[in-house]
Amino acid sequence: MATIAHCLFCFDVLVASLEKREHLTLPQVEHFWARYQSKDEPAERTTLQPDHLDNPDHAATQEDGDDALSDSDPGLEELSGDEGEPPTEGPADPPSTLQIPSISRLQAASPSSTSTSSIPSSISASSSRQALDDPSSKTSSSTSIFSFGRSSQQLSATLKEEQYPLFVTWNTVSGRGHKSLRGCIGTFESQELSAGLSNYALTAAFDDTRFAPIELGELPSLAVHITLLHTFTPCAHPLDWSLGTHGLRISFTYHGRRMGATYLPDVAVEQGWTKEETIVSLMRKAGWTGRSRDWRNVADMRAIRYEGKGEGCGWSIWGKWRAWIDQDSENKK
C-alpha cells in the first residue's frame, strides 16, 4: 500500500532535481518521517551518503504496437485527466512566493500497454535522466541531513525492496481545493519502489507530453498521489469489475488499429460514473470516436481489472517535514 513516506520521497526527488542537488533515499525518508511523527528520540550521528538514482532502462520509451493486452509486453501507460478533475483535499493555500525550507546545505502477471491515437505512445524519460545524471547537479557536501540511525542504515543495505506496478500523479490544487491534473505516468511492470517512484516522479513531472514540464515556481500549488497496483485479473466481459474496488484497462480494435487505455480504481467513483460510462470514457480516451450506445460493437474488446490503494499529500506537508529536518540538523551542530 502506498504511504505518505512514498509521497514525501517523490516530492524530495522532484525538488532535488529542480535544485540540482542530491535527494534523500527512500529508506532515509521513511526513517525521518517516522521520527517526525513521533518526535521523541534523536537520531544517531552516522553519516550516510545518498545513493545515486537507478533509472530502469524500460522507462525510456514505449514503442508503437498493435498487440492485444497480454503478459509479454509490460511497458508504460498514461493516465489522462481529460475527463475533468474532482475536488480533493490538498495543501493549504500556497504562499504568494516560493518558500523552500533551507535544505541547500543539507543534502505493485503484468498486462501490456497499447498505443492510442490521442496520446503519443513513445514516452521519453531523457529529460529526467539528464537532470539527475548531469555531474554538475551533484553535491559533495556531507552533512547531518544524511545522519541516519545505525539500524536504519543496516536495514537499507539488507532489506530486499518490495516491487509493484505503480503510477505517480502530480496535481495542482487551487486555494479552494480544486484539483487539476499536472502530469501522470506509470507502469504495469513491477518496480522496486526506490527506483520506480523516483523515476516516475520525474517522468510524470517533466515528460508527460500533455503538459509543459513542472517548474520550480509551481511547487507550492502541487500535490502528489501514488498508487501501487496489484491483483491483475482478465475480465470475463467488459463489465466484469466493481466500482470503487477495481481499476480497469481495456484494449480493442477500431479502424484497423489496436487501442487501449486505463483508469485507476478511484477515478470512476470520483467522477460519479456508471460502469458503462466508465467504459465509454476509457474508449474515448483511447481514441474511439463512435456513438456512446455503440460501444459494445467494437471488435475484440478485452479488459483487465486490477486493484490498488493510493495515498497523497501536498506541498505544505513536505515543507513542514523538511523544515523540521533542517531544524533538527541545526540543533545537533
What's residue 161's pLDDT? 74
Q: Is the pLDDT of residue 306 over 50?
A: yes
Segment 58-67, tens digit of pLDDT: 322 232 333 3
Q: Is the pLDDT of residue 157 over 70?
A: no
Average pLDDT for 122-150: 37
Segment 84-134, tens digit of pLDDT: 333 333 344 444 344 444 332 223 333 333 333 332 222 333 333 333 334
Alpha helices in 60-185 (DSSP H): 126-133, 150-158
- Range of 91-100, 162-171, 323-332 with top mean pLDDT: 162-171
Give the DSSP per-residue string, 128-156.
HHHHHH-GGG------GGGB--HHHHHHH
Average pLDDT for 145-164: 53
Average pLDDT for 212-233: 97
What's residue 62's pLDDT? 30
pLDDT more than 70, % of the chain: 62
| Residue 326: pLDDT band with limits 50, 70, 90 | confident
Lowest model confidence (mean pLDDT) among 42-56, 145-159, 189-203: 42-56
Q: Is the pLDDT of residue 323 over 70?
A: yes
Compute the distance between CA of residue 214 and CA of residue 44 in angstroms, rounded to an integer. Answer: 36
263 phi/psi in degrees, rounded to 5:
-125, 140
Tally helices (H) and strands (E) across the chain. 8, 7
Cβ-proximal residues to 160 (8 Å cutoff; 6+ apart), any chain: none
Strand pairing class (179-192; 76-78): antiparallel
Q: Which of 156, 155, 142, 154 is nearest to 47 (CA)?
A: 142
Between 204 and 130, name the one with better pLDDT. Answer: 204
How far is residue 286 CA from its own chain's centroid?
Answer: 21
